[in-house]
Amino acid sequence: MSDAAQPTAAEVRAAAEAVKTALDRHLAAVERRSGEDDPAVYEAFNQLAAAAEAYDELLYDRYDEVTPFEIPGAEDSLPPYTGPEEPNAISVLIRRDYAVVEPQRLRAHARRVEAADQGNDASGGGTSGTVHGALGILFGEFEPDEIASRHKEFGLEEGDSTLWVTAADEPAEPGEWLEAPFEHVDPQQIVCRFDVSAVFDDDLHADVDDLDEVDDVDGEDDLDAGLGADEDEDLEPLDADR
């Protein structure tokens, strides 16, 4: 981007203020929410996402700097679904990996849950006294999505995650797939898939390093050729609407 087309410092500052305002509105909407599907929370979420994306773009254009926000884009989508247009049933398959980085924090949260259930103070010698027992208590008490959003609070560190939505002609029989939920997935029946992995960041960084080397040695024409090759060879398509 040329200097003439760059946003001004004032525009970047205004975008940052817009993010702060959107954060306050989102928190207020969450605090006043009337249920899980409160439309005010949904609207505030979208406004916050839009403000964060605008700020991220202006910050990069002006200062060549980025934010930790991840705004999903249409270019990350998978090829169009080729299965039935109106499936009679769907299955949602989710896997999330975590590392237990602060076991004492994990056990402390589990003790509080255990104490509340028992109506007295847990001493740490019960089920919550071990990491294995604490995990069972927390995942029994909280929904997986809540644990995902609060993982640091529970002493966990996120690893890779994936979510698949698959179509089916009819719902599965009760208990039919519980032992191996991912085992018999037909690729043609996958409506959409969302993957999050550090490997994609590693690939991106490797691509940038390779391009810098090509630029230093061969010049701009070879840089363009190297970019196309890296993208085709290393990057996997994602539908990261998250």
46-104 pLDDT, tens digit per residue, is 899 889 989 988 998 898 888 877 655 544 444 455 555 677 888 999 999 999 999 99
- Rounded to an integer, what distance in angstroms lies between the CA atom of residue 224 and that of residue 65? 23
Q: Are the C-beta atoms of residues 90 and 165 closer than 8 Å to each other?
A: yes
Neighbours of 170 (CB within 10 A): 8
Q: Which of 30-34, 50-54, 168-172, 205-209 is least confident?
A: 205-209
Sequence spans of domains, the chain: 1-71, 102-154
Q: What is the DSSP letter of 139?
A: H
Q: Are the C-beta atoms of residues 228 and 59 closer than 8 Å to each other?
A: no
pLDDT of residue 115: 87
* pLDDT tens figures, 169-203: 888 889 888 888 888 788 888 888 888 888 766 55
What percent of the chain lies above the pLDDT cut of 70?
Answer: 71
* pLDDT tens figures, 96-140: 999 999 999 999 999 999 888 876 544 445 678 899 999 999 999
Q: Give residue 211's pLDDT band: very low, low, confident or very high (50, 70, 90).
A: low
Query: Tokens standing for 197?
Result: 């992995």
Q: Are the C-beta atoms of residues 27 and 47 closer than 8 Å to each other?
A: no
User: What pTM was estimated for this model as a whole?
Assistant: 0.48
Q: Give residue 227's pLDDT band: very low, low, confident or very high (50, 70, 90).
A: very low
Within 13 Å of residue 43, how many CA atoms lie on the same side as its CB? 7
- Rounded to an integer, what distance in angstroms lies between the CA atom of residue 16 and that of residue 23? 11
pLDDT of residue 187: 82
